[in-house]
Structure 1
Amino acid sequence: MTGESAREASEGRNTPRKRILRGIAVQTAVVAAAVHLLWAWPRLGSPPDARPYFFIAGSALAVAVAVATLRAGEYRRLYALGAGTLGTFLGGFLAWHGTGAAAALAAEPLAVAAAVVEVVGVGAYLALYRLAPPTSVVVERQREDDAEVAEKRAEEKEKRGEEAP
């Protein structure tokens, strides 16, 4: 980790760069999910093609990761899951179409939108991963925050004359 990224990792979750990257990562995950749902929905029930069902499951996972990215702490595993989910969409497209991937991109505007969004999203999630501290640091910060909250509650109860548990 470079000196600047180590400093930023120690400063917490809400540095300007991390907020911007988090916003980009969340938006790209949601847009990728929406694009895949738009493609999959009309194709449900097509017996020889299992992709619509995988797209729906992958879209649900992408949205869940996006929500967790907004609400959870700085967990490297979460960021790796986000990058992996978007990367799997992209890799799956390339694997499915093989050498005809460029022609498939040219023929399908949704595929172009998905590919661009997925590349940007993978980059944002990987940048968040690099900037995040190790999980043990995040867990320790959470314990400290919980202890401070419990201490403040106890002080407030004491001021009101209530018995502490």
Structure 2
Amino acid sequence: MSESEGVDGGRQSGLKKVLRAVAVQGAVLSAAVHLLWAWPRLTEPADPRPYVFLLAGLFSVIVAAATLQADEYRRLYALGAGTLATFLLGYVGWHGAAVPSALAADPFAIVGKVAELVGVFAFVALYRLAPPTSVVVERRQRERGEQ
């Protein structure tokens, strides 16, 4: 990537760096909350949520790591936003009309839901700022050809 791409809105532009950091922190914090909730409940075989939360938290961390390492792929940003939005909608679906009282009773849930909400907005902003995937792939092929 040339220096001009970083200044003109490439992957390393200031706004994109901040949004990427916020999105990754939201995803990792949400994953941590899910893992901390699930870990002590793994011995309850009748409840599938701890196992689902472990897998979903791991998946969220993988998406966060890919967001840090990969080029600016819109599909990756959509995956991050979708994963965090699924956590939010799942919470609402599980608790229904009792969401306010469930949040009030669980500080972990408050932290997780705020992190997910912020992360969704950051991933959506990254998606909107990213060029189409074909442009990113073409840019990457040109860089490999120049080396």
Q: Give the structure-2-normalised TM-score.
A: 0.93
- One-letter identity of the residue aligned with 2:103: L
Q: State how far apart, in whole Å, the 2-side matches of 1:50 and 1:109 are.
A: 22
1:39 and 2:37 correspond: yes
Q: State how far apart, in whole Å, the 1-side matches of 2:72 and 2:80 are.
A: 13
Which residue does 1:87 correspond to in 2?
85
Runs of 4+ in 1 over 4 A off after TM superposition: none
Identity of aligned residues (%): 58
In the comparison of the two structures, how many residue pairs are matched? 142
1:122 and 2:130 correspond: no
SS of match in other structure, 1:48: coil
Which residue of 48, 53, 63 corresponds with 1:65? 63
Q: State how far apart, in whole Å, the 2-side matches of 1:55 and 1:42 are.
A: 12
Structure 1 portions without partners, runs of 5+: 1-6, 150-165
Which residue does 1:106 correspond to in 2?
104
Taking only aligned residues, the RMSD between alpha carbons, in angstroms, comes to: 1.4
Cα offset for 1:70?
0.4
Q: State how far apart, in whole Å, the 2-side matches of 1:18 and 1:11 are.
A: 8
Cα offset for 1:12?
1.2
Structure 2 portions without partners, runs of 5+: none
SS of match in other structure, 1:11: coil
- One-letter identity of the residue aligned with 1:49: D
Cα offset for 1:11?
3.0
Q: State how far apart, in whole Å, the 2-side matches of 1:11 and 1:110 are.
A: 36
Rg (Cα) greater in structure: 1
1:15 and 2:23 correspond: no
1:28 and 2:26 correspond: yes
Cα offset for 1:49?
1.1
